Chain A
């Protein structure tokens, strides 16, 4: 556990309050881009750009925390941890899953 010095703690306080006051910063990334950040997917350049916005926009920060929480729960329940290289079929399974889960397509997975 880190114990920030008083100066850093004051900076954190000032910064966090400013972000909260501002609410939403312009140019919010899509929820999928925030998920890619959480799941460590895609290029580092894009993820850093998303991260910079998320950490300066209260609305996106809340969304980031939400996806982080859901992903952490899913990983704890046996799902795949972030940053694991997956074959293309897994990544391609997103839309199929989305369709299936919305009831607009086939189930789209094989039980292991």
Chain B
């Protein structure tokens, strides 16, 4: 059944078009494409509609909607989507990151086993270092830059560099003590 025409839709669509463009571009950078972004924008649409429909001057209010309100709406919608995702994951065991295992030729079983053992030694080495250094080391090993770590924690570049490099040095020393070495030449 088609929805009846209304005066709120054009204003809502303008807001969503503007905001949606930025959301899609930034999410693309983070490799979120397609369904999850569509779902987010749909949630934002529903929330804005519910909050404004039936109110006097709703179209004008929507046109003048503060960016901070839109931000809270989007983050609140994003949180709800995460909750639903967690509930779905709890219902059925889904591999979190299928890409991680790689595409194409599979490595030999003994190579997989050796790598898995080394990875466990890396984890034990991280667990053994000072607690203040562990989070930054883990974040760096997950591929985040020093600048990103400093920005997230509100730390100076010097403090971040200090904790990170000390932490990485500790990890390397512990690995060496366990006899873990690898070819460092390309």
Contact = CB atoms under 8 A, between A and B. Distances in A.
Interface of A: 1-2, 5-8, 10-12, 14-21, 23-24, 28, 31-32, 34-35, 37-38, 40, 44, 47-48, 51-52, 55-56, 58-59, 61-63, 65-80, 83, 90, 93-94, 97-98, 100-103, 107, 109, 111-112
Contact of B32 (A1, A11, A66): A66
Nearest to B186: A6
A6 B40 contact: no
Contact of A77 (B22, B30, B81, B154): B22
Contacts of A66: 30, 32, 36, 78, 81-82
B122 A2 contact: no
B185 A6 contact: yes
Contacts, number: 199
Given A15-B119, A51-B135, A69-B27, A62 B184 contact: no
A58 B76 contact: no
B34 interface: no
A74 B145 contact: no
Contacts of A40: 152-154
A62 B64 CA distance: 33
Interface of B: 18-19, 22-23, 25-27, 29-32, 36, 40, 47-48, 50-52, 55, 61, 64-79, 81-83, 85-86, 89, 95-97, 100-101, 115-116, 118-120, 122-123, 126, 132, 134-135, 138-143, 145-146, 152-154, 168, 171-172, 182, 184-186
